[in-house]
Amino acid sequence: MVELVFDKVNSVKIGLTAANCVTITNVLAFADRIVSVEDAMVRPYSVINDYNPSGVHQSHKYRELLLVLDTDWLKDTTDPASRWAYGATGQPINAAANKFAIDEDGDNTAIEYFVVAIRGHDGAETTRKYADVTTNTLWCVGETSEFSNEDGTPHQTVTFRFICLGDLI
């Protein structure tokens, strides 16, 4: 048995390949959960009746990833418009030319490289690969920016949501 004690998220790398990606380090939180469209693998009555509904696959599940940043990450620190997820000045994420994580006016394109590096309490780094030059598996599906002027607000956050159709690599 190996016991893992996680300390913090070192970085989240998102892009095209290991050599062509952003290495986001201002990560406040990263979460990964399994979502099933049917809520559970099979409905109880299906189990009781030993019935597998046709056309429905019990592995029809996906991962939902949540990435919370201390505001946002820039491809170029001298250009506030160069948000990593957006086109023109952002980070390409697909082998198809000029494709970025968020398309303002059309379907988002799949992200081909997505790796999370987590530091253990002993300093060793654990990596979780959700996409490694992988096609049609992982997409950005949401972005929420939240700002507060109340006293005691520690961070102004930008939260990205992703779906990942595959398992860890």
Partner 1 sequence: MAEGGIRLKNIASVAANAVTAENILSFKEEHVMNMAPQFVPNTFQGVDMLQRSKWRELTIVMDSENDVFDLNFFAAAANVAVATTIVATFDVADGLGTTETWTYEISKSWVTRKEFGRIEDGARRNTTEYHVLMYGTKLIA
Query: Which residues make up the interface to partner 1 (CB under 8 A)?
Result: 22-26, 37, 69-78, 80-81, 83-84, 102, 104-108, 139-150, 153, 156, 163
Q: Residue 75 Cβ, how far from partner 1 at the closest point, in Å?
A: 5
Q: How far is CA 137 from CA 38, 134, 163, in A?
A: 20, 7, 8
Q: Residue 163 Cβ, how far from partner 1 at the closest point, in Å?
A: 7
Residue 112 half-sphere exposure, CB side, CA atoms within 13 Å?
18
Nearer to partner 1, 46 or 82 (CB): 82
Tokens of 24: 């986001």
Nearer to partner 1, 95 or 165 (CB): 165
CA 67 to chain centre: 6
Nearer to partner 1, 49 or 77 (CB): 77
Nearer to partner 1, 24 or 118 (CB): 24
Q: Residue 73 Cβ, how far from partner 1 at the closest point, in Å?
A: 6
Q: Residue 13 Cβ, how far from partner 1 at the closest point, in Å?
A: 11
Which candidate, 133, 144, 142, 143, places its Cα nearest to that of 166?
133
Nearer to partner 1, 26 or 120 (CB): 26
Q: How far is CA 91 from CA 10, 15, 41, 60, 77, in A?
A: 19, 6, 36, 30, 13
CA 34 to chain centre: 13
Q: Residue 50 Cβ, how far from partner 1 at the closest point, in Å?
A: 27
